[in-house]
Amino acid sequence: MIESVKILTNSLRIKFKGETIENFPNIWLRDHAKDEQNWDRRSHQRKTNTGCLDLDIKIKQAKLKNEGQHIEILWSDMTNVVSYSSEYLLKHLLCKNRKDFKFRLWKKYQIKEDIFLSYKDIMRENGFKFFLEKIYKFGFCVITNCETNLKAVETIANKIGYVRQSIFGGLWEFESNQDKADSAYTQEELKPHTDATYSNDAPGLQLLLCCDYKAKGGESILVDGFKIAQNLKKNDKDLFDFLSSVEVPGKYIGDGVILEAKRPIFKLDNNELIQVSFNNYDRTEFRLDELQTLKFYEGIKKINNLINKPEYQWRHVLNPGQLLIFNNWRILHGRSSFKGKRKMAGCYINMEDFMSACRVNGIS
């Protein structure tokens, strides 16, 4: 709700109910006019040619409507008024208060049984929203009672977005396989890592369905990378800042491709952590000066210590019919060693498609 507005030379000062006051520059407001003349409602695209707007554009009149639910603005270059809702303006505040922050950073003890959802439930409309919300908040969940075939993986993937094609194909099945180049096919322990540090657009979600398990060991291990980041930032801000600025390269060679990409272990956007990338298996050569080199390896050591602490590791042996789904931009995954037969199926989904599904369901 808007309490009052004041027209300034090149901006509009808006006082919202509560304490929030913000100046919205005229040119920004004019560029975001969503009336019929300036906006195509069918395609959700701008009609205005922004480059032709006067940077010094003026507001002739600004009136509150519907008890502050809207402002109507008369622009110096238009004859009709343009309406802006208070909800729209609040959504685009520069200094958002982050009460709506929905991530729940976790340690092992904070993960409860409700992380398990049944296949039947997530296929229902309300259940599906609840399922997406769970992944959004905690970074993962386990779907139980799935059929043990690729079709089950595909059905879940298509409900969220679509199956991503990668060097491993779209949908994949594997048992331990010595012929493949990737460490994921061994029976050895896999330390917590994120997948595809060698890809500029690492997969957003990974789905892993247990199809057969006649083995000993093979616990799936998950670690909340955002929690690790929070810990490091709190206890060694200098090191955290360093690790969020140094770009670390990852490389994949095999199956006729050489893929390489680089980004910081903690990738920030406007000071907000958006992605954790940590894969000691796939890191390739890069040089820093001597002091920075030492600092980088100190960082690796600290992260390695944290992600291997039992208090940060959620562990679970997937049984046939259980599908683990996790956010690969946040959750590090690993697997303890095993002996015997373990057959898995899975796929990746792009981050942008997961985020789209969240927006469509009013989650993010």
Binding stretches for Fe ion (CB under 5 A): 195
Comparison of 25 and 217: residue with beta carbon closer to Fe ion:
217
Q: Which residue is nearest to Fe ion (CB)?
A: 195
Question: Smallest gap, in angstroms, from Cβ of residue 112 to Fe ion?
Answer: 25
**Long-range pairs for 311-314: beta carbons < 8 A, 24 or more residues apart:** 311/107, 311/108, 311/109, 312/107, 312/108, 312/223, 312/224, 312/227, 312/228, 313/108, 313/192, 313/221, 313/222, 313/223, 314/106, 314/108, 314/111, 314/221, 314/222, 314/223
Question: Smallest gap, in angstroms, from Cβ of residue 151 to Fe ion?
Answer: 23
User: Helix or strand or coil: residue 141?
Assistant: strand
Comparison of 21 and 253: residue with beta carbon closer to Fe ion:
253
For 6-28, letters b (16+ CB in 10 Å) and e give eeeeebbebebeeebebebebbe
Question: Smallest gap, in angstroms, from Cβ of residue 182 to Fe ion?
Answer: 8
Comparison of 135 and 190: residue with beta carbon closer to Fe ion:
190
Asked if residue 123 lies in contact with residue 131, where contact means CB atoms within 8 angstroms, the answer is no
Question: Smallest gap, in angstroms, from Cβ of residue 195 to Fe ion?
Answer: 4
Comparison of 195 and 224: residue with beta carbon closer to Fe ion:
195
Question: Smallest gap, in angstroms, from Cβ of residue 334 to Fe ion?
Answer: 8
Q: How far apart are CA 319 and CA 321, in angstroms?
A: 6
Comparison of 4 and 177: residue with beta carbon closer to Fe ion:
177
- Residue 89 amino acid letter: L
